[in-house]
Amino acid sequence: MTDQTLPIDADDRRAVPPVICYPTDHLPQPDMVLYNQARQNLTKVDAVSVPPREAASIVVPAGHFMRIVSIEGPQVGDLNLFHQHNLNERFYSGKTRALHGTHVSKGDQLWSSFPAMRPMATVTHDTLGWYGIDAFGGSVHDVIGTRCDPYTGRLLSGQNYHHCCHSNLTRALADHTGLPLTEAEAYVHDVLNVFMCTGFTRDTGQYFMKASPVRPGDYIEFLAEIDLLAVLSACPGGDCSAEHSSDTAACYPLLIEVYAPDDLPGWTPARINSYDRSHGR
């Protein structure tokens, strides 16, 4: 870069205002009035605790609510979502980011991979919704990170660490499905970083994290738009205030709860994308 001559109109070119890549004016919207009403009368039907530096899975039937709850201490969770009956349809963090921005909150949806590309879940409540975007450009529940993994750890530190979220998710998915570890690993994908506070530095554009503002009792809640298998890792980074990919940080369990609403009148599961898949042939 340094050996390049600055064009005479460099400032003008930089001053061009940005446009939103994917305007969402025509994106079909979830019926948040219906969801708000439905979540007033819920019955807990299932729950699982996620131990620190481990992962756990739970099935969330379509039309049920799932809560991820902070208990005991500040803790970040790495969430994978699958169509319960087809592991090839899974959460697509990149497209979710393109549609909803770097972080998700109430009213945003979590989208699935091609070719289904449909909402898998809708965020129906977020007790950290007050956080907004801080002075560093940080916010909560990101879809910009990937998941901590032993390959990057090995590259950067030369060590083998087996309790990164990638490995935790792999073991939990293998346990749920009965697949061998190496087959289960291939289904693990980029996550929703639940409760994690992240952004990009303005000067270098680097991915940063900072201590999560989550406190015990905080939760994020979703409506399952299709039958879901949710797998959640309690990240070895704890609140991600310092480091991950090690046993250094204080870590706490997370709780996943599944609730059935009394009624969800007129609601139907999300349909797969209607593109005809002919790709111009």
Least Å distance, CB 252 to Zn ion, is 14
Give 65 or 195: the residue with its C-beta nearer to Zn ion. 195
Least Å distance, CB 106 to Zn ion, is 24
Give 109 or 170: the residue with its C-beta nearer to Zn ion. 170
**Measuring CA to CA, how many Å separate 116 from each of 90, 121, 128, 276?**
9, 14, 30, 11
* 109-111 vs 42-50, strand pairing mode: unpaired
Give 99 or 184: the residue with its C-beta nearer to Zn ion. 184
Give 37 or 152: the residue with its C-beta nearer to Zn ion. 152
Distance CA 151, CA 255 (A): 28
Least Å distance, CB 244 to Zn ion, is 5
Give 144 or 235: the residue with its C-beta nearer to Zn ion. 235
Least Å distance, CB 102 to Zn ion, is 17
Give 224 or 234: the residue with its C-beta nearer to Zn ion. 234
SS3 state at 154 = helix
**DSSP string across 80-143:** EEEETTEEEEEB-HHHHHHHH-SB--TT-EEEBPTTT--EEEEEEEETTGGG---TTS-EEEES
Q: Taking Cα atoms as reference points, which of 84, 82, 38 lies closest to residue 61?
A: 84
**Structure-token pair, residue 211:** 């201590």
Least Å distance, CB 154 to Zn ion, is 15
Least Å distance, CB 240 to Zn ion, is 8
Taking CA 93 as the corner, what is the angle to CA 92 and CA 98, rounded to the nearest 5 degrees? Answer: 105
* Chain contacts with Zn ion (rule: CB under 5 A): 78, 148, 165, 235
Count of CA atoms in the C-beta half-sphere (13 A) of 266:
6
